[in-house]
Chain A
């Protein structure tokens, strides 16, 4: 390759590798960002529109990050919806008025989210069972547990907390939270744990042979996933002002769809957290576009299914076109 061909190498070759992998996600994101702005031009006129919007997008973004974490180690979490419900009920029961009570409740929710991840991760790794079926069984357990904590929507969320989430500062709190968690992930990703997570997702057996503690890494990935999930629960309770044992149901399949839209792969080891955030944005933007075009809410189920199949299918089809063999 001479100097001339190098200089006219396409733009994509000059991008850093991790951005190159997300290029299609970036393009889709831009398309839907423009669509969103056309439908809701108020966003550009008044900055205060950012707060309700951020609260609409944040829970699914965090759920997609949580789902992405499990998909990185080659699994899939079918219990995310149920555990999200459980986390909101725990938040509603443990939070009390006053700074101490609120912070206590937040810590309790985050810890229980991580405990949920720990339990599932342990059963998956030490039981040597497929993630899919274990998380399916756990979805019933968490559903029951959520009903035990609160049999109907209720509990108490301090008004100061909801007010703080919705208060108009410089940047919406939900966005700050997502940015903080992205930074948190960035730090983890560059430690040995992060590299191990990507490694065991890519090839668990080879990772084991090269001395990675596969079980521990997988359990830690489940715990981090639980942490992201409880973050979503905290945003949700701030929004609704109560804990709800069924609120999470809507997020189960959506989180999988959002993570796939964000570039995660089922085979594991592929995907980035910022992709998950963008994927969640794209997913909700698609829903918004349909809502604005006057489709009834019944269509959302059809769209969920169609997105799931299309997002994976398109990837495979483009792979074939580039001359790949199988997927």
Chain B
């Protein structure tokens, strides 16, 4: 019994358990949720935003936050579409888009490290700058361009679920290894727990910040490219919902928003659970007003449940 209690105390286990329970409930109670096709599309939605969540999780564990993921997603999908339209081969277009996203990450890290701008403000500001730049460059209507290869990479289904899902799993596996089995992960947790201690024990905090924010930009970039492949075109607000979703998924996955705590493996459960909850809200066909309120309340309740700071006094 005590072992069971101990197992439940781990927020990651709790997240996976909740995910399975919520999924079972929807399968039993909502018509159509048991179909394979529906579950495949749920996993596809989860995978598309899942990349951004992976990056966000690393940033949050390091004690920061990346509010620019939504704009980075837009940036990558618009850049990729523009490059494909200009006649570049798809892999080159993807490379350019990802490079642009990593540049944004490097910009974030530069301000955070050298100008000491708080991460929240830096990433909000970077988001504003990207949004404005895209508006100026595209004049409000982004170019449409998407090759067959990109569509196949995103929604082709040679192995039961879509390719995007398998790519998500692959990226997750690499990041899981980095976070749990390499020096990188140990340093990220060290910085998230206490920057000064980490610095004094020899962690190269500047280098780590560059890696962390560029990784987040890279991951959000993959999200953007595959979203372009999924719908075949893009628009300037394609990334907007994912600012809250990415943070919510990280929190739901059991990672403490204050940094340094929580297992990286929780992100998968967090992402799928977020998509399931969104689907349930959609099925209930409630108004946008209540959907907004519910999403906000959900994040708050989850934060209160396991994101609280230790009682300092």
Taking beta carbons and an 8 Å cutoff, which residues of A are in contact with B?
A: 76, 123, 127-130, 132-134, 136-141, 143-145, 147-148, 151, 205, 208, 253, 256, 266, 296, 298-306, 308-309, 312-313, 316-317, 326-327
Please determine whether A138 and B292 come into contact, CB atoms closer than 8 angstroms. no
Chain B window 290-307, contacts with chain A (Cβ cutoff 8 Å), 1 for yes, 0 for no = 111111110110011001
Contacts of A253 in B (CB 8 A): 124-125, 128
List 11 contacting pairs A-B, 8 Å CB cutoff, sorted by A. A141-B292, A144-B296, A205-B313, A253-B128, A256-B121, A298-B136, A302-B132, A303-B132, A304-B132, A305-B129, A309-B111
Tell me whether A133 and B289 are in contact (CB under 8 A).
no
| Cβ contacts under 8 Å, B294 to chain A | 144
Q: Which of B117-138 contact A (CB under 8 A)?
A: 117-118, 120-122, 124-129, 131-133, 135-136
Say yes or no for B244: interface residue by CB 8 A criterion: yes
Residues of B within 8 A of A141 (CB): 292-293, 296-297, 300
Is B289 a contact partner of A302 (Cβ separation < 8 A)?
no
B290/A266 in contact, CB under 8 A: no
B111 vs chain A, min Cβ distance (A): 5
Kindly state the separation between the CA atoms of A157 and B233 in the bound complex, as whole angstroms: 43
Q: Is the CB of A129 within 8 A of B304?
A: yes
Whether B132 lies near A298 (C-beta < 8 A) is yes
A136-B297 Cα distance, complex, nearest whole Å: 11
Complex Cα gap A312–B122 (Å): 10
Question: Chain B residues in contact with chain A, CB under 8 A?
Answer: 65, 111, 115-118, 120-122, 124-129, 131-133, 135-136, 140, 244, 247, 251, 257-258, 287-297, 299-300, 303-304, 307-313
In the complex, residue of chain A having the shortest beta-carbon distance to the beta carbon of B108: A309
- A136→B244 contact, CB < 8 A: yes
Q: Which residue of the partner chain B has the closest CB to A313? A: B115
Given A137-B300, A301-B128, A305-B127, decide whether A147 and B247 contact each other with a Cβ distance below 8 A.
Answer: no
Known: A130-B258, A140-B296. A304 touches B125 (CB 8 A): yes
CB distance from A253 to the nearest CB of B (A): 6
B303 touching A127, Cβ below 8 Å? yes
Contact of B296 among A130, A138, A327 (CB under 8 A): A138
Give chain B residues whose Cβ lies under 8 Å from the Cβ of A208: 313
Which residues of chain B are near A144, meaning CB under 8 Å?
Answer: 288-294, 296
Q: Tell me which residues across on chain A come within 8 A of B291, comparing CB atoms.
A: 144
B309 with A128: CB separation less than 8 A: yes
Q: State A123–B309 Cα separation when bound (angstroms).
A: 13
The listed residue with most B CB atoms (<10 A of its CB), out of A266, A299, A305, A306, is A305
Which residue, of B140, B308, B310, has the highest number of chain A Cβ atoms within 10 A? B308
Which B residue's beta carbon lies closest to that of A133?
Answer: B257
Q: Name the residue on B nearest A301 (C-beta).
A: B132
Point out the residue from A130, A132, A299, A305 that lies within 8 Å of B126, measured CB to CB. A305
Q: CB distance A147 to B133 under 8 Å?
A: no
Chain B residues within 8 Å of A298, by CB? 132, 135-136, 140
Closest Cβ of chain A to B150, distance in Å, is: 28
Taking CB atoms, residues of chain A closer than 8 Å to B309 are 128-130
Which 7 interchain pairs have the tightest Cβ spacing?
Answer: A301-B132, A144-B292, A140-B296, A302-B132, A144-B293, A305-B128, A313-B115
